[in-house]
Amino acid sequence: MRTKVGIIGAGPAGLMLAHLLHLDGIDCVVLEKHDQTYVEGRIRAGVIEQWVADLLIEMGVGSRMQREGLVHHGINLSFADTLHPIDFKALTGKGVTIYGQQEVVKDLIAARLAVNGPILFEVDHVDLHDFNTTSPHVSFCHNGKREELVCDFIAGCDGFHGIARNSIPAGVLTAYERVYPFAWLGILSESPPPSKELVYAYHDRGFALYSMRTPTLSRLYLQCAPDDDILHWPDERIWEELHGRLAGRTLAEGKVVQRSITPMRSFVVEPMQCGRLYLAGDAAHIVPPTGAKGMNLAAADVRVLSRAIAAFYRSGRTDALERYSTACLKRIWKAQRFSWWMTSLLHVFPQDNPFDRRRQLAELDYLTGSSAALTSLAENYVGLPMQ
């Protein structure tokens, strides 16, 4: 099997890269270890920066998002028994769109299949070879048969636990990581959200986030211990904590249709490339979800990568490919800074003492009373400009 770009992983990064390459007339093959139903059903973050929403529309895959997505012009901060609305539109002229990551994946898969673009689901025993040469290839098993994909470039878009990053020889990458002393318990509830826009809550009992997928389907989160057991969180306890950590709004209860516990970490590897293997999305970096940057960073990576690959096929130039890591990491570290700041601002750390708690409240009070500080939050949240 021969193609120009072999893409490992059919998440947002891999599928978006495949569609961007298709629009430039560049052949690619997507390899995914899970089946299509699993990939389309993975519930992930749903906050899309404005430039990413604009890009999806420009790519021709944003029509359902435009119909069903919820455009938000701000968020709310809840602390000290008061709800503080923050108007992003007034501060920056921009907003965000609430549209589940799994819905973006469905739209991208549909677009890929509509143009007969190859996606091979349920592949296993994937191995990457010779990516330090001009003739890389990927071996894998599909439908019980050993296959080989010969390509010019390999894009590792297979997530934090994928094969791509782990295929790079020891000593090439430098990893930077912070593991946080808490996790998020998340539920999906058949109930209306307490507000038309997201509520980020700081409380002595821990952080909480009140978001939504639709006007009748809420995505709700609670700070919990990283080693907590989901069995220790029956519905009654979940709703008690959600009610207790929310200020200024009434929270409707509903049927809990999904629940999970997600650990929190910040992670970056440098560089994001080795020879003709390029890492994108969670394969190269993880951010705590407080800043809503995960899928948006993946989109930024593949936009840079697709342009660099297109430049190579147009003119043979390799300078953009050589600068891929540098171009992406500048944005990634700014997103890490913002995500760390939001996480530190709103969570209760186990080692904190009363001084730390009072300092957090003072920072929240300063933030909500300063147009300069609010503008900084807003411009980071809605998405920094692409270079």
The full set of domain ranges for the chain reads 5-73+95-176+266-342, 181-263+351-379
Write down the catalytic residue from 12, 73, 94, 200.
200
User: What's the CA gap between 200 and 250, in Å, rounded?
Assistant: 15
DSSP 100-156: -HHHHHHHHHHHHHHTT--EE-S-EEEEEE-TTSSS-EEEEEETTEEEEEE-SEEEE
User: What's the CA gap between 165 and 224, in Å, rounded?
Assistant: 30
**In CATH, which superfamily holds the domain spanning 181-263+351-379?**
D-Amino Acid Oxidase, subunit A, domain 2 (3.30.9.10)
Sign of CA dihedral 359, 365, 368, 369: negative
* Tens-place pLDDT, residues 113-160: 999 999 999 999 999 999 999 999 999 999 999 999 999 999 999 999
Mode of pairing for the β-strands spanning 74-79 and 273-274: unpaired
Could you tell me the pTM of the whole model? Answer: 0.95
Of 14, 195, 15, 193, the residue nearest 110 (C-alpha): 15
Query: What's the mean pLDDT in 321-343?
Result: 97
Strand partners, 147: 140
Write down the catalytic residue from 19, 33, 72, 84.
72
Percent of the chain exceeding pLDDT 90 equals: 96
List Cα–Cα distances, 220 to 151, 182, 223, 340, 344, in angstroms: 43, 16, 11, 20, 19
User: What's the CA gap between 104 and 107, in Å, rounded?
Assistant: 5
Per-chain mean pLDDT for the chain? 96
H or E element that contains 369:
helix 354-369
Under CATH, which number does the domain 5-73+95-176+266-342 receive?
A: 3.50.50.60
* Tens-place pLDDT, residues 248-302: 889 999 999 999 999 999 999 999 999 999 999 999 999 999 999 999 999 999 9
Active site annotation includes 161: no
Query: What amino acid occupies position 131?
Result: F
Contact predicate 296/52, CB 8 Å: yes
Q: What are phi and psi of 241, to 5 degrees?
A: -70, -40
Of 319, 326, 304, 306, the residue nearest 386 (C-alpha): 304
Write down the catalytic residue from 84, 221, 289, 347.
289
Query: What's the mean pLDDT in 87-105?
Result: 95
* Tens-place pLDDT, residues 198-230: 999 999 999 999 999 889 999 999 999 999 999
Active site annotation includes 200: yes
* Tens-place pLDDT, residues 242-262: 999 998 889 999 999 999 999
Of 22, 12, 8, the residue nearest 154 (C-alpha): 8
pLDDT beyond 90 at 44? no
Write down the catalytic residue from 137, 203, 293, 347.
293
Contact predicate 379/92, CB 8 Å: yes
Active site annotation includes 293: yes
> 130: phi > 0 → left, psi -120 to 50 → alpha, else beta; which?
left
User: What's the CA gap between 150 and 138, in Å, rounded?
Assistant: 7
User: What's the CA gap between 87 and 229, in Å, rounded?
Assistant: 37
> Which residues are within 8 A (CB) of 148 and not within 5 positions of it... i.e. 6 or more apart?
1, 137, 138, 139, 140
Strands (E) located in 225-339:
255-270, 273-274, 277-279, 285-286
